[in-house]
Structure 1
Amino acid sequence: MPNPNVVSRVNRLPISRFHKITLLAVSFAYFFEFADTNTFATTAPKLIKLWGVTVGQIAYVTSLSFVGMFLGSLAAGWLADRWGRKKALTVTTLWFGVFSLASVFSWDVVSLGAFRVLTSAGLSAMTVVAVIYVNELFPAAKRGKYQAYAIVIGICGTPATNLIASAVVPLSDWSWRLVYLWGALGLLFVLFIRHLKESPRWYESKGQPERADAVLTEIEAIVAAEKGPLPAPAAPVEVAPQARAHLRMLLQRKYLGPTLLLSLLWVTQTIGFFGYSSWAPTLLSKQGFSVESSIFYVALTTVGAPLGSFIAALVSDRWERKWSLVVFGTAIAISGLLYGLTFNPVMIVAFGFLVNMFERGYTAVAYAYSPELFDTRARSLGTAVSYGLGRLSNAVGPLIIAALYTGSGYQSVFIFIAGTWLVGALALALFGPRTGVRAAEAADGPESVLRH
């Protein structure tokens, strides 16, 4: 039986209210993912004074959180393939909301660390599923832009959290708990569930063409009611049933190269970004700035994040994504190095603003780029494994940063962070496949055809 020609039917759809509601739901999940990612970093300076937490303990909590992210990423790949994209997105978002709420009631650094590990698993899992979900529901010619738009909205969770933390953390010995309560508002994602559709491409990959056709017919009716008659899709094609994806499949020549490249991309992004964002408040306070000032300065720098995602939305579908990533990565390295070389508050805010702006542009483009290196069969597994390995790398990142700070001082941390970004940019420049719109559309089909 011919398949319902899912790719052709999805790619011909104009952007409509259906896509915008989907985008809003994903953006909401991203917002509280970015909000919750930074809660521990913004409360750590207070806990140093309140509980006597050491830099080493902060490093271990942060490291274990990234182990949680790795496990969450792997679980997300399995959940997205087994349960479907919509259900997996819902479960993972509610998971991190529940454990952020549990963090409100932590009684020492061990209990808080345990809750943070579980929260982090949900944060990473949600991100993996959301990237795949947008990739499969938006037309190839527009998905890069709308992936970035989701980040534009979502990344506002970072400055929002930092500004809230700068206001509430100094109020009392218990008010730091309100930061985790704020992160728990991701639970309100339940309000979007009834508006979302399952990915028809997932139904197709599971050998259920009738269900894929049914959900696509619903989507097409919604879009046509708003936009008018739709162009005819390409003729259906016969596709052999796909075997279930297994981890060893990524060792095949077809998938090994993209998996290794993306793993390096996410390793350097994770260590480079979280090395900066997770440690900046603590390191500034260690350099003599007050807790209030250090949190406030970092909050001001994160205002650049939405602008970076907006820039990514403008360039993602116009410029080759590979080279956009190289440019963004190099700019982050330079800005981050200059951040570490100054102790002037104005310059700290200025260079920190640039780090956040370029990094969020990088991440928005990378979210579009990563799933395009795999076909439908391997997309969930390949994205989950490469993203998860990146997050796992930061299990050692904080320990390296703590050792560098203790042994060589503040500025050595930022030299190390700049170096990680340059390694990632160089690897992409030398080995990264190009994924322009034509290549992205090719990758949507049964076989991925990427241009080097």
Structure 2
Amino acid sequence: MQHSNALNRLNRLPIGRFHKVTLLAVSFAYFFEFADINTFATTAPKLIKLWGVTIDQVAYVTSMSFVGMFLGSIVASTMADRWGRKRALLVTTLWFGVFSFASVFSWDIVSLGVFRVLTSAGLAAMTVVAVIYVNELYPAAVRGKFQAYAIVIGICGTPATNLVASAIVPLNDWSWRLIYLWGALGILLVLFTRRLKESPRWYESRGDHAKADEVLREIEASVAAEKGPLPEPAPPVDEAPQTRAPLKLLLQKKYLIPTLLLTVLWVTQTIGFFGYSSWAPTLLAKEGFSVQKSVFYVALTTVGAPLGSYLAALVTDRFERKWCLAAFGTVIALCGLLYGLTFNPVLIVVFGFLVNMFERGYTALAYAYSPELFDTRGRSLGTGVSYGLGRLSNAAGPLIVASLYQGHGYRSVFYFIAATWLFGAVALAVFGPLTRQARGATQKPRQEVVQVP
């Protein structure tokens, strides 16, 4: 059977300029995804004063944004399978950039809410595609590290947005609009179009071995010119071309179990993290801190985010990802709880810093772990559905937070968030599959090679 042997040909490549340019492009997309996802949280305290927006309205806009994320995640899996990983990455990034730009011209909370839902759909869609794209282009033994490196760079969009917002939002009654213009700059990903390659594994999954081989030869030539002669790849394992994966595919046991586990992972991560990051500026402002101080304190805490992603890069390929995720989740629960039990500005910044650091490390680990639980056929669908359900769960999250805050006070919100993180950590520790041995198998002599999805 004809076979381009994409998996083994990619796995035996040393890291070269091709991988670094791809990393830069994905990091750029991540940067503005993380920048844009925080824009409403940083402008909400100002809108409460300008438009008379209520806590409940903030909750509804935030909730509907996560409905948009769910829809975007589901559509992304279809786009990535039908159009290819590269094209889907570009289209989804353009989508969220255009609607972030439209948010600049919002005239009330309803119009802003609509634009945020559409922006959020693009943000989640881009994330799903980017996770799959990195998973399929980098050697299995280091893909987790490069997934984390992309987050290290990309997550800088979070503190950048918060610091920009802390300086710009208080200036006057219209300056908050500039924060959405900032988020729209992700559109500039189009500058990388010619430097990006389509995933050969996507071509191969469609039975287009000639096109897969063409792209592989271009990548190999680029790496060989830089690094010298390449080692021979392991022999291929014949596989039949894959047809488009229907949704019912996830009902098969080998897809259903990882999909359910990853749904728990993304549900707890989404409610746990966004319950914190989306509400921290608003809740601090409601507790008596000025808008400027509340946004500034949160901006300082997000400086820990890049460090967390770098920490993930150091551990992700050295240890079992599931144990790293369980450990990080437990630390986040503890630090998040301590954050909610203090009103001391220094301790708010310290514990908030630790929450952001370990949460972003957790996210980087999860991005590497999620697609590894599926083969090529189920990867887009399983990753997209589980990630989308996680985002959909937070349609209820903000409403729960608002209800807890109004009914039981500030601290109850953080008890809830800590419990959510701890539940996810325990689920991963008990049910999470191990993946390190399979990844390491790609480094053994050829006769011992085990195919890693």
Using structure 2 for the length normalisation, give the TM-score. 0.97
Cα contact 1:134–1:147 (8 A) shared by 2: yes
Which residue is 2:217 aligned to? 217
Cα contact 1:320–1:435 (8 A) shared by 2: yes
- Whether 2:311 is the aligned partner of 1:306: answer no
Which residue is 1:82 aligned to? 82
- Whether 2:186 is the aligned partner of 1:148: answer no
Gaps of 5+ in 2: 443-449
SS at match of 1:58: helix
Distance (whole Å) between structure 2 residues aligned to residue 439 and residue 141 of structure 1: 5
Distance (whole Å) between structure 2 residues aligned to residue 423 and residue 411 of structure 1: 19
% same residue? 78
The one-letter code of the counterpart of 1:119 is: T
Deviation at 1:448, TM superposition (A): 8.0
Deviations 1:261-311 (A, max 9, x none): 000000000000000000000000000000000000000000000000000
Which residue is 1:408 aligned to? 408
Cα contact 2:206–2:243 (8 A) shared by 1: no
Distance (whole Å) between structure 2 residues aligned to residue 129 and residue 277 of structure 1: 24
Deviations 1:106-137 (A, max 9, x none): 00000000000000000000000000000000
Cα contact 2:30–2:154 (8 A) shared by 1: yes
Q: Give the 5 Å matches for 1:31-430.
A: 31-430=31-430
Deviation at 1:40, TM superposition (A): 0.1
Gaps of 5+ in 1: none
SS at match of 1:171: coil
- Whether 2:12 is the aligned partner of 1:12: answer yes
Distance (whole Å) between structure 1 residues aligned to residue 369 and residue 338 of structure 2: 28
SS at match of 1:239: coil
Cα contact 2:144–2:317 (8 A) shared by 1: yes
Distance (whole Å) between structure 2 residues aligned to residue 128 and residue 51 of structure 1: 34
Cα contact 1:373–1:448 (8 A) shared by 2: no
The one-letter code of the counterpart of 1:8 is: N
Distance (whole Å) between structure 2 residues aligned to residue 289 and residue 214 of structure 1: 59
Cα contact 2:281–2:294 (8 A) shared by 1: yes
Cα contact 1:245–1:381 (8 A) shared by 2: yes
SS at match of 1:267: helix
Distance (whole Å) between structure 2 residues aligned to residue 220 and residue 36 of structure 1: 36
Distance (whole Å) between structure 2 residues aligned to residue 415 and residue 375 of structure 1: 38
Taking structure 1 as reference, are residues 440 and 35 closer, same or farther at Cα in structure 2, changes over 3 Å only?
farther
Q: RMSD over aligned Cα, in angstroms?
A: 1.2
Deviations 1:54-113 (A, max 9, x none): 000000000000000000000000000000000000000000000000000000000000
Aligned length: 446
Deviation at 1:241, TM superposition (A): 2.6
Which residue is 2:29 aligned to? 29
Distance (whole Å) between structure 2 residues aligned to residue 363 and residue 440 of structure 1: 22
Distance (whole Å) between structure 1 residues aligned to residue 319 and residue 237 of structure 2: 31
Deviation at 1:237, TM superposition (A): 3.3
Taking structure 1 as reference, are residues 437 and 34 closer, same or farther at Cα in structure 2, changes over 3 Å only?
farther
Distance (whole Å) between structure 1 residues aligned to residue 104 and residue 185 of structure 2: 12
Distance (whole Å) between structure 1 residues aligned to residue 277 and residue 214 of structure 2: 44
